[in-house]
Structure 1
């Protein structure tokens, strides 16, 4: 059976997985579910890391956008030695490691082998350091979970929040729709990558518009968190799909995603 791998991360985040899928003999189809729209333009003032004990980046996009803006304003100054930089997982920390702007020892995130890479796992990593943390900056999208900030505030820590981007649902064009319709002629051959609850909703909106809802329920899925898999279950259930979807949950690293796709493709 020909395997079609539908990659739904934003533009620029699907290329490596697409190349690996093609090398494995699968047919990759890049259909970004969400578009990233920056909310802060170069030159605008923004909070500086030296004013905080900890800067938390909730996603790879948050880290990338903040560092791009900071490098443009810092005149070559290094990241302050007293300020920690934290992310919810190894994948979202990659822009920090790649930047050479922050020392590795200042970067905190759950280990890549952790079952979940999320706010709860990050909180466990931060707990031993909390006595030294008095002020936190959370760099995020326009919307998202408030759990980590609320936990900090319950501990008496001052929390500032900086929204750097908006995630907007994409509308797949006619050529993308035609490619997807062709791939879903055999729904069981399609493996969809799901990387956020918002992307599940955005994908479902496109699927419904194209009249592919019934076939979508028979496809296979790889989700990078249990919450995303639960959102998929809810969306499919609301459209009348009574059978539970075939979902594999994995960590957000490309290696883990590729392995999960391989497992779903071989079923």
Structure 2
């Protein structure tokens, strides 16, 4: 145990999809804690990539290409850019810093991205997504299956011609459920990080009535006010709202645990 570090002796559940979980886990370990990996969302490619290949064939027709998450970048770009470069007239848009980083690492630069909040509402506040900028323009939204419709519906109401394409699928937790519930029941966990409302829904369903009391005593660190509101509405009172991203979750974890005896 690394005494003196804010997370010394703490076991923190990291619920990000498997491909995005390790960075936060390493950061937790650097602060003395132990990461308990339990993805509440499993990410897989779409079963039918034909719609994605269809938009790839006419990528130059779009004014904006909006990537909803790093997963969208990971699963869409290999098909969109197979044997070609990013079209110079197509403006890439990232919903947040993780998505922005994924695009830049793939060689797609000059992206639009909100500077503070990282959600659909923040994207819609950008002047480049205003009605004056997009009326009559074609907009491509690259996302997972399902999800919120606010962004696409609002852009359509602003006069854009919007096409939504699913490039990956989200599923609930697979392996590791019994281990997680056993650790939860034994109160061997000291915090749980959440970064999506969908992950919260899976957590509540998994805990059910049998484990609800244990879950109510576990501090939840959430990176968006919408997730915090839903957690509290579900009866969870130990909810800590952090700044966005891994850095925000880590800072919230350290501040919370550093203030505890």
Tell me if both proteins adopt one fold, taking TM over 0.5 as the criterion. Answer: yes
Q: Is the 8 A contact 1:4 1:26 kept in 2?
A: yes
Normalising by the residue count of structure 1, what TM-score does the alignment of the two structures yield?
0.84
Q: Is the 8 A contact 1:172 1:206 kept in 2?
A: no
Which consecutive unaligned segments of at least 5 residues does structure 2 have? Answer: 1-7
Moved more, 217-226 or 87-96: 87-96
| Structure 2 CA distance for aligned equivalents of residues 93 and 78 of structure 1 | 18
Where do 1:228-239 residues align within 5 Å?
Answer: 228-235=227-234, 237=235
3-state SS, counterpart of residue 50 of structure 1: helix
Query: What is the Cα deviation at residue 130 of structure 1?
Result: 5.1
1:190 aligned partner:
190
Given the superposition, is the C-alpha separation of residues 229 and 80 from structure 1 closer, same or farther in structure 2, using an over 3 Å criterion? same
CA displacement 1:53-90 (0-9 Å, x = unmatched): 00111111112211122233xx1x21111110112111
| Structure 2 CA distance for aligned equivalents of residues 153 and 220 of structure 1 | 39
| Structure 2 CA distance for aligned equivalents of residues 89 and 199 of structure 1 | 18
Q: Is the 8 A contact 2:225 2:241 kept in 1?
A: no
Equivalent residue for 1:144, pick from 131, 142, 147: 147
1:46 aligned partner:
54
Normalising by the residue count of structure 2, what TM-score does the alignment of the two structures yield?
0.85
CA displacement 1:115-169 (0-9 Å, x = unmatched): x211111112244765443110111111111111112111211111101122111
| Structure 2 CA distance for aligned equivalents of residues 47 and 40 of structure 1 | 16
| Structure 2 CA distance for aligned equivalents of residues 180 and 4 of structure 1 | 14
Query: What is the Cα deviation at residue 97 of structure 1?
Result: 0.6
| Structure 1 CA distance for aligned equivalents of residues 148 and 239 of structure 2 | 26
3-state SS, counterpart of residue 93 of structure 2: strand
Where do 1:190-229 residues align within 5 Å?
Answer: 190-208=190-208, 211-229=210-228
Equivalent residue for 1:62, pick from 68, 72, 78: 72
2:157 aligned partner:
154
The yes-or-no answer on 1:97 pairing with 2:104 is: yes
The total of aligned residue pairs comes to 247
CA displacement 1:98-124 (0-9 Å, x = unmatched): 001x2x22x10112xx1x211111112
Q: CA RMSD in A?
A: 2.3
3-state SS, counterpart of residue 159 of structure 1: strand
Given the superposition, is the C-alpha separation of residues 132 and 230 from structure 1 closer, same or farther in structure 2, using an over 3 Å criterion? closer
| Structure 2 CA distance for aligned equivalents of residues 171 and 99 of structure 1 | 29
Q: Is the 8 A contact 1:140 1:161 kept in 2?
A: yes
